[in-house]
Chain A
Amino acid sequence: MEIKRLSAQSWRFDPGVPVVGAAAVCGPKEGEGPLGKDMDHIFSDLRLGQKSFEKAEQLMQMQAARIALERAHLPMENLDFFCGGDLLNQLTPTCFTARTLGASFLGLFSACATSTAALSLAALAVASGAVANAMALSSSHTCTAERQFRYPNEYGSQKPPYSQQTATAAGALVLSRSGQALAKLSGVTLGKVIDIQITDPFKLGPAMAPAFADTVSAHLRDWQRQPEDYDLILSGDLGRHGSAIALELLKRKGIHLPEKQYADCGLLLYGEDDSVFAGGSGCGCAASVGFGHILRRIAQGELKRVLLVATGALLSPLANQQQETIPGIAHGVILEGIGNAAQEKPLDNPSENSSRIPFEGGNEDA
């Protein structure tokens, strides 16, 4: 496989890194949303029967990893490389997942852009031949994120209309040089940190919008493409208002992204649910929508080429209290169908799948 360097932030893979396994799992609220049918496992309880939400997030990751490996027909002990992350300090859930998986591991933090950051690294590792296969995974849990970044979950503060809900979800993707491909990853564009000097920790969509616009414009410049060359350009979790700002910023850069070709994972995940205010957010948002719903549509041939740009607000509660700003970052990956419609095969039915891969939370060691 050839890696073609298009710029210092963009690489094209010829003929594309095969995606051989994918999984998306989520919590109860996300399961009731419009994408519930495309989730491989929906947990009915936010605690997953565990004593802490942190432990629950770890088990949610493990379930996503297990389903993705199962779908890739790759035994856990044969996984070469695992990279991923979450929103918690010390990337605790991911480190524990890595302990169970036993593959060589790099933990990443790009806030909510971690899903595509991990996927980019995994793709570069597989495409370069450094490893034969790799898994990228990321997750978020509303209760673990809320307490770390804002207030205790039961604290009765009044949230503004532009706040967003951290998704309880996880997504995993397995890339491998061998095996039957569901889709292919044909290139990545890594983003730069863009700081528009926002300090309000509830205005994360607007804080990330400039990073999204920067990565998308760099991507189109490096590939010499137009938005029309994609069936869909997806942002991770800009939310309702962040999306509007992002489209306007792109327009000012001379890039007209038609609304039908653009979607935001945070808005897709919850639909018109007002209780999440401006939409969903979190590492698990882009991961579960991108690696679940979107990949499924690519595998089924409904979408040919998608640019998934997960967006992250690099918010530190400590730095924020010290009057620091909230910089944004966005990383893009191109997911494509494998070309020949005859080869495109629907993913297993999730209900069949979840009965085949039972949730093994109860058997996990502490």
Chain B
Amino acid sequence: MGKKPQPEPWFQQLMDQKVPSKKTGRNCLIAFVSGALFCAAAQLFEILLQTYTELDTDTRRSVVLICVIGLVALLTGLGWYDKLGQKLGAGLAVPISGFANSVAASMLEHKSEGMVLGSGCNSFKLAGAVVVFGIAAAFFVALIALLLGAV
């Protein structure tokens, strides 16, 4: 890919004057706090499961993940998640909630084109990249570990 086109400096300067920039610092702080609270809530749920059920650690983690995914899918369907996403940003996008929302939103969006060619084919439209690059990264990390004799 070539160099990305850029407006000429005089226009860039004009845009810098007239167009407000993203509030990156503020957004990062909100994401940090909200993401932490969200994860703490999930952890609390896991502790409750540990206290009140006989489930083993792996099962408890799976239950927590399934509940978070279910909750996010429900919020997406009700049309609330995108409003929360606008406010909390990466605080919701980085945990598994972001992944769940991208799948649920894509499936909902393409419902009108049918279950298979619409919702089915498009479900990983946004999340597909995470799966592909996640698996690729895992492969290379495992390869390096193998070569170093750590496994």
A333 vs B76: C-alpha distance in the bound complex, in angstroms?
Answer: 43
B76 A154 Cβ-Cβ under 8 A? yes
Shortest C-beta distance, B7 to chain A (Å), equals: 5
B108 A152 Cβ-Cβ under 8 A? yes
B108 A154 Cβ-Cβ under 8 A? yes
Shortest C-beta distance, B46 to chain A (Å), equals: 24
Partner of A206, one of B1, B19, B108, B126: B19
**Residues of A contacting B18 in the complex (Cβ-Cβ under 8 angstroms):** 206, 241, 244-245, 248
User: Size class of B's contact patch?
Assistant: 35 or more
A161 B93 Cβ-Cβ under 8 A? no
Partner of B89, one of A52, A158, A162: A158
B1 A156 Cβ-Cβ under 8 A? no
- The interface stretch among A62-70, A178-186, A192-200, A262-270 is A192-200
The interface bits of chain B over 47-90 (1 if a CB of A lies within 8 angstroms of the residue's CB, else 0) are: 00000000000000000000000000000110101101110011
B101 A155 Cβ-Cβ under 8 A? yes
Q: Determine chain B's interface SS by DSSP, over half rule.
A: helix
Considering only residues 57-95 of chain A, those with a C-beta below 8 Å from chain B are: none
A245 vs B81: C-alpha distance in the bound complex, in angstroms?
Answer: 34
Tell yes or no: B2 within 8 A of A by CB.
Answer: yes
Tell yes or no: A153 within 8 A of B by CB.
Answer: yes
B109 A152 Cβ-Cβ under 8 A? yes
Partner of A161, one of B5, B6, B11, B22: B22
A210 vs B14: C-alpha distance in the bound complex, in angstroms?
Answer: 12
Contact A248 B92, CB 8 Å, known A151-B126, A154-B76, A156-B82: no
A184 vs B45: C-alpha distance in the bound complex, in angstroms?
Answer: 68
A199 B4 Cβ-Cβ under 8 A? yes
A52 B112 Cβ-Cβ under 8 A? yes
Tell yes or no: A231 within 8 A of B by CB.
Answer: no
A205 vs B85: C-alpha distance in the bound complex, in angstroms?
Answer: 24
A21 vs B129: C-alpha distance in the bound complex, in angstroms?
Answer: 50
The interface bits of chain A over 332-363 (1 if a CB of B lies within 8 angstroms of the residue's CB, else 0) are: 00000000000000000000000000000000
Contact A157 B19, CB 8 Å, known A196-B11, A197-B7, A325-B5: no
Tell yes or no: A51 within 8 A of B by CB.
Answer: yes
**How many chain A residues touch the partner (CB < 8 A)?**
33
Contact A156 B101, CB 8 Å, known A147-B109, A151-B126, A199-B5: yes
Query: Please, which residue of chain B has its CB at the minimum distance from the CB of A52?
Result: B112
Contact A158 B85, CB 8 Å, known A152-B108, A206-B15, A245-B14: yes
A206 vs B14: C-alpha distance in the bound complex, in angstroms?
Answer: 9
Contact A152 B5, CB 8 Å, known A245-B14, A248-B14: no
A245 B15 Cβ-Cβ under 8 A? yes
Tell yes or no: B25 within 8 A of A by CB.
Answer: no
A199 vs B4: C-alpha distance in the bound complex, in angstroms?
Answer: 8
Shortest C-beta distance, B97 to chain A (Å), equals: 8
Shortest C-beta distance, A239 to chain B (Å), equals: 10
Contact A153 B19, CB 8 Å, known A197-B7, A197-B8, A323-B4: no
Shortest C-beta distance, B107 to chain A (Å), equals: 9
Considering only residues 89-130 of chain B, those with a C-beta below 8 Å from chain A are: 89-90, 92-93, 98, 101-102, 104-106, 108-110, 112, 125-126
A168 vs B86: C-alpha distance in the bound complex, in angstroms?
Answer: 21
**Residues of B contacting A210 in the complex (Cβ-Cβ under 8 angstroms):** 11
A159 vs B22: C-alpha distance in the bound complex, in angstroms?
Answer: 9
Shortest C-beta distance, B114 to chain A (Å), equals: 11
Tell yes or no: B20 within 8 A of A by CB.
Answer: yes
A155 B126 Cβ-Cβ under 8 A? yes
Shortest C-beta distance, A198 to chain B (Å), equals: 6
A162 B105 Cβ-Cβ under 8 A? no
**Residues of B contacting A157 in the complex (Cβ-Cβ under 8 angstroms):** 82, 85-86, 93
Q: Can you sample 20 A-B contacts with CB below 8 Å?
A: A54-B112, A152-B105, A152-B108, A153-B109, A154-B76, A154-B101, A156-B76, A156-B85, A156-B86, A156-B98, A157-B82, A157-B85, A157-B86, A157-B93, A158-B27, A196-B7, A197-B8, A244-B18, A249-B14, A323-B5
Interface residues of B (CB under 8 A from A): 1-2, 4-8, 11, 14-15, 18-20, 22-23, 27, 76-77, 79, 81-82, 84-86, 89-90, 92-93, 98, 101-102, 104-106, 108-110, 112, 125-126
Interchain residue pairs A-B with the least CB separation, the first 8? A156-B85, A152-B109, A52-B112, A154-B105, A152-B105, A158-B89, A155-B105, A244-B18
Q: Add 13 more A-B contacts to A155-B85, A157-B93, A210-B11 (CB < 8 A).
A: A53-B112, A152-B125, A153-B82, A156-B81, A156-B84, A156-B93, A159-B86, A162-B20, A197-B6, A241-B15, A241-B18, A241-B20, A245-B14
